[in-house]
Amino acid sequence: MTTTVPALGTRTADGSALQAVLLDMDGTLVDTEGFWWDVEVEVFASLGHTLDESWRHVVVGGPMSRSAGFLIEATGADITLAELTVLLNQGFEDRIDRALPLMPGAARLLAELAAHEVPTALVSASHRRIIDRVLATLGPQHFALTVAGDEVPRTKPHPDPYLLAAAGLGADPARCAVIEDTATGVAAAEAAGCRVVVVPSVAPIAPAARRTVVTSLEEVDLPFLRGLMTEMR
């Protein structure tokens, strides 16, 4: 976990029950979920293997160890997990160096949260080296802390990353709004006891208790997030 600015306290300026906002990165703030799959396809092609499109839903949103491990087993490729991890991270970095598009509404939402001094964290299954590259575009000043997938013993779909982020902000997980795009991330946030907003990126996700599904971040603003906490009372 890396703290980029001091934690801002546990309550928003107007005393709202919303104590913090925790955001996923790939596919939620930056339009990169497709980048990972494209890199996986290219790397395995260089190894002489073709990836089945149906596997995309298996690997999306997960930690590198799980996704890469699955693809090695599924293809029988002659490569170790450590070797594949290096190739995938390098391929992804090359892509984001060329272009790193933000998801619609992401810049506006981050600016709004910062303007109202809402404690905000970036919580990603991506490795620290990737997060730090992406932060240069997102703006590190927008996050009181960041949690990377290679900094926790168990990353998503386990609750650990979101529990760590909430604790780092001094917030009750039940009063945190998490914004996610994949079933893996949603599972992690819900296991942590957070209220979840889902903006599905690759596969559809159904609404459920403590889970609200929207089509775009453009539908999400601070009053919307505060309203989620009001519904819990």
Residues 190-202 pLDDT 10s = 999 999 999 998 8
* pLDDT tens profile 132-167: 999 999 999 999 999 999 999 999 999 999 999 999
At which residue do the structure tokens 């946030």 appear? 189
Identity at 12, one-letter amino acid code: T
- Residue 69's pLDDT band (boundaries 50, 70, 90)? very high
Q: Is 33 a residue whose pLDDT tops 90?
A: no
Instruction: Calculate the average pLDDT of the chain.
Output: 90
Rounded Cα distance between 25 and 102, Å, is: 10
Rounded Cα distance between 3 and 224, Å, is: 27
- Residue 230's pLDDT band (boundaries 50, 70, 90)? confident
By the 8 A CB rule, do 1 and 164 touch? yes
Q: What is the mean pLDDT of residues 32-40?
A: 87
For the chain, strand residue ranges (E) read: 2-3, 20-23, 120-123, 145-147, 176-180, 195-198, 211-213
Half-sphere exposure of 10 (CA within 13 A, CB side): 9
The reported pLDDT for the residue numbered 6 is 47
Q: Is 207 a residue whose pLDDT tops 50?
A: yes
Q: What is the mean pLDDT of residues 95-119?
A: 95
Q: Is 8 a residue whose pLDDT tops 90?
A: no
What's the whole-model pTM score? Answer: 0.83
The reported pLDDT for the residue numbered 232 is 61
| Other Cβ atoms closer than 10 A to 138 | 21
For 168-198, letters b (16+ CB in 10 Å) and e give bbebebebbbbbbbbbbbbbbbbbbbbbbbb
Q: Which of 142, 161, 165, 140 is nearest to 150 (CA)?
A: 161
The reported pLDDT for the residue numbered 188 is 97
The reported pLDDT for the residue numbered 14 is 46
- Residue 7's pLDDT band (boundaries 50, 70, 90)? very low
